[in-house]
Structure 1
């Protein structure tokens, strides 16, 4: 009866003659299980978890209620044991009953400790990472609604993803990895546009305060590259009054002009954070197409002797955080475009290995990385809408298109062509036999640029060359 009462709360008391209290406990337990099952069935497991995850106060209330419920359950188990207690002089049975009941109670209450720990970690992360004090830093952000379809008036959402080279001992921030994720909020399909760090003649646009200093765009030769826009914003922060992140705002507005996309949110992670993230995920499996140096300093076109500290060998490799960082940013023996392709490969590899069970087990480490190394301007009131969007993205496709030298000349970029390529990449895919749509963003009458894609013929690309064009991010390696 005691064991039955632990598995099906109230049943042991009910069968032991305590009908009122046993029936009440059993009814409450069944109602709770049915309600939870209905909630998960209607929303789906992932959406249900996200719904709670972005509502830390509700999650905390449920955990408190759960702890109280466990205490009540433990008390009912003890009461069931007392009701069915062995009579004297069966001392041995009493000892066994006491031990058995104690183990049952401990087994019921023990899981509460890690649950409470996870919730407190999660509350701290959400409260630190998502805060209104960050400020948006953009004009004309998409109006997100509320309720069941918060994205009803926002057909497409664009998010800037920045990897910075900030670390102790190096002044300033250079945005060595710049990706804009454009998400179809209906289907969840996404395209990741990789922007070269060394783009020149960067258009700023009238809404960018830096245009007061550079009215013709960020154009001063090889010193004015796309990855220096952040530092320009920080240097001229007086042009961004009240903005806590002028560098981020300047970069966002510049990328918006480059791609012809209004950017709604920004997310930044630094080098150490990326390395720690990969370690927290247990490393990453990558197919390395060519030998990559760890370290390496180039001066006057030559690698400085002794500056390379090791190598990542070609072939399938399991990389730790440090190795993954160098795989993603090394260019001593290659170039910026090859590095962009490897960054795309790294994104695909990480997406491929995300397993909810494994990630939950590693959540404390992942949360610490996010808290210490990630910055975003997503406000807390938008998290509910984001939970809905992430559910859709789980069902959609994630494709990637880096603007390599096959598409753009960084020294003299054709920004109209870049914007045309972007629009064609995010346009709805045509059905068989239907011409591909074209939506140029410029006012020129020329034919929009075709989206480059990886050849689909039987002749495979070079075993060492990175894939080019628009491809599924899971196949980027």
Structure 2
């Protein structure tokens, strides 16, 4: 790599300066070794370049971390960072070797030079290899999990006018041409906000159980998150897994009741088994469950995200566990483990440091309670995991987390919408979220012959409308509910 030799000062080499130290300094901070060697001008130039890179990185991570996270979901940025990482590595290697030679280090001092090269290599290769590895993992993750980017075409009009002209005939009469206007169309690619044109962005969060002894995926956890893009107000609707006769969209004409006659957690796998009946932008199972939940609440469901329960266990473990406040005893003498066996669990009131297995058991068990108490525990566990996620744990556990997400996360959120969603989520105060649990007796209109509850649809839609149109304080007062934070303490 050629460097302008005019940057080399003419100061004579000072023998007392150590070549290995000059190399080490420039390996850590390009230019500092040149400065140490007496080449002030070269040192300033190289350190200025390093300072620009360093200050920009620190500014993103410390001052504007949301922007940093958004950039991590941009494939072009990730490719650019990979190339830049190689370039910076090359610059540091060159700077270290140049500084070593500037203080008298030579190829003749073989063993000294070998040690210096080994040390410089260890210092430089490891962090750049680590950065490149994480960059590749992130690129692989986001392109594997998220839906392909969407392209929106906007049409703009411009006017082309032909002016009026006159001609005179031999008889003296004149004729005039009319003015004509012709629109021209320019097609441009515009990245709209994912919530443009809608009042609420609604994302269905699903927890799928497909473990030993299960056929297909059963969505035992169903929570609709509804966010106002303007105010960032959040409403959460927890939907019981055992709701029967949940209404379906008009275009699904399978049953006379215009509903799904079985319990709701079986609809996803039914949709997967009957793809022709549930067309739409997502997989058949997702189309089915999104349509049903939307009809139940009277809301459009825009996206979904499904996480396998085993994936939840692995993510919590990768994050170093989670602290849970247990308010009511949860006892189950035959809790079904992930491997198909059973065990006794007993969580008495108190504060627990839980690993992934325990957190899932606490959130999942319904023996001695019911589906509705379990729904409350699930929301509290999810809130705790999100609130307690430590940046250091996220960083150190990222390779494992990425692998788990690739295996256990399914979503129809387009990749190019993720940065907007990150911006939106950053402004949401989950502690003040409206949390509506569709539990009996309030939200149940009756029971099937098998004893399963079916929903009071009109009341559910009315309360969903209140929760998504009124300010949170007014909505909670009218519905008689507390903020999510108060329910989990």
Are 2:102 and 1:58 equivalent residues in the alignment?
no
Does the 8 Å contact 1:175/1:197 carry over to 2? yes
Does the 8 Å contact 1:233/1:249 carry over to 2? yes
Does the 8 Å contact 1:188/1:396 carry over to 2? no
Please name the residue that 1:29 is paired with: 50
**Displacement of 1:236:** 3.0
Please name the residue that 1:310 is paired with: 344
Please name the residue that 1:358 is paired with: 393
**Displacement of 1:369:** 1.1
- CA radius of gyration, larger in: 2
Please name the residue that 1:286 is paired with: 324
Please name the residue that 2:484 is paired with: 472
Does the 8 Å contact 1:295/1:330 carry over to 2? no
Please name the residue that 2:144 is paired with: 128
Are 2:478 and 1:450 equivalent residues in the alignment?
yes
**Displacement of 1:269:** 1.4
Please name the residue that 1:204 is paired with: 248
Deviations 1:144-172 (A, max 9, x none): 9737x664544421001111221254213
Deviations 1:164-222 (A, max 9, x none): 22125421332211110111223433222100112233111314x2xx112433264xx
- Going from structure 1 to structure 2, the CA distance change for 1:115 and 1:414 (only over 3 Å counts) comes to same
**Displacement of 1:253:** 0.5
Please name the residue that 2:134 is paired with: 118
Are 2:113 and 1:85 equivalent residues in the alignment?
no
Does the 8 Å contact 2:279/2:287 carry over to 1? no
* Inter-partner Cα distance in structure 1 for 2:296 and 2:86: 53
- SS of residue in 2 equivalent to 1:146: coil
Q: State the superposition RMSD in angstroms.
A: 3.4
Please name the residue that 2:26 is paired with: 5
Are 2:356 and 1:321 equivalent residues in the alignment?
yes
* Inter-partner Cα distance in structure 2 for 1:39 and 1:49: 5
* Inter-partner Cα distance in structure 1 for 2:271 and 2:351: 41
- Equivalent pairs, count: 416
**Displacement of 1:263:** 0.5
- Going from structure 1 to structure 2, the CA distance change for 1:8 and 1:216 (only over 3 Å counts) comes to same
Are 2:86 and 1:48 equivalent residues in the alignment?
no
* Inter-partner Cα distance in structure 1 for 2:243 and 2:219: 12
Aligned ranges 1:250-261 → 2 under 5 Å: 250-261=288-299
2:216 to 147, 172, 175: 172
- Going from structure 1 to structure 2, the CA distance change for 1:55 and 1:169 (only over 3 Å counts) comes to same
- SS of residue in 1 equivalent to 2:46: helix
- Going from structure 1 to structure 2, the CA distance change for 1:153 and 1:36 (only over 3 Å counts) comes to farther
**Displacement of 1:413:** 2.6
1:390 to 412, 415, 425: 425
The TM-score with structure 1 as length reference comes to: 0.77
Runs of 4+ in 1 over 6 A off after TM superposition: 94-98
**Displacement of 1:427:** 3.1
* Inter-partner Cα distance in structure 1 for 2:375 and 2:486: 15
Are 2:182 and 1:163 equivalent residues in the alignment?
no
**Displacement of 1:48:** 2.3
**Displacement of 1:363:** 0.8
* Inter-partner Cα distance in structure 1 for 2:294 and 2:397: 35
Please name the residue that 1:337 is paired with: 372
- SS of residue in 2 equivalent to 1:312: strand
Does the 8 Å contact 1:285/1:319 carry over to 2? yes
Are 2:108 and 1:108 equivalent residues in the alignment?
no
* Inter-partner Cα distance in structure 2 for 1:273 and 1:40: 28
The TM-score with structure 2 as length reference comes to: 0.75
Does the 8 Å contact 2:195/2:201 carry over to 1? no
- Going from structure 1 to structure 2, the CA distance change for 1:7 and 1:409 (only over 3 Å counts) comes to same
* Inter-partner Cα distance in structure 1 for 2:271 and 2:130: 44
**Displacement of 1:101:** 6.8
**Displacement of 1:84:** 1.2
Gaps of 5+ in 1: 135-143, 298-306, 439-448, 455-470
Are 2:191 and 1:146 equivalent residues in the alignment?
yes
Gaps of 5+ in 2: 1-20, 151-188, 446-452
Please name the residue that 2:90 is paired with: 71
Deviations 1:119-162 (A, max 9, x none): 1111111111013399xxxxxxxxx9737x66454442100111
- Going from structure 1 to structure 2, the CA distance change for 1:452 and 1:104 (only over 3 Å counts) comes to same
Please name the residue that 1:415 is paired with: 457
* Inter-partner Cα distance in structure 1 for 2:190 and 2:331: 46
- SS of residue in 1 equivalent to 2:249: coil
Task: Write 1 or 2 for the structure with the bigger share of strand.
Answer: 2
Please name the residue that 1:303 is paired with: none
In terms of mean alpha carbon deviation, does 250-259 or 149-158 score higher? 149-158
Does the 8 Å contact 2:204/2:222 carry over to 1? yes
* Inter-partner Cα distance in structure 1 for 2:82 and 2:260: 56
Please name the residue that 1:425 is paired with: 467
**Displacement of 1:21:** 4.3
* Inter-partner Cα distance in structure 2 for 1:79 and 1:219: 73
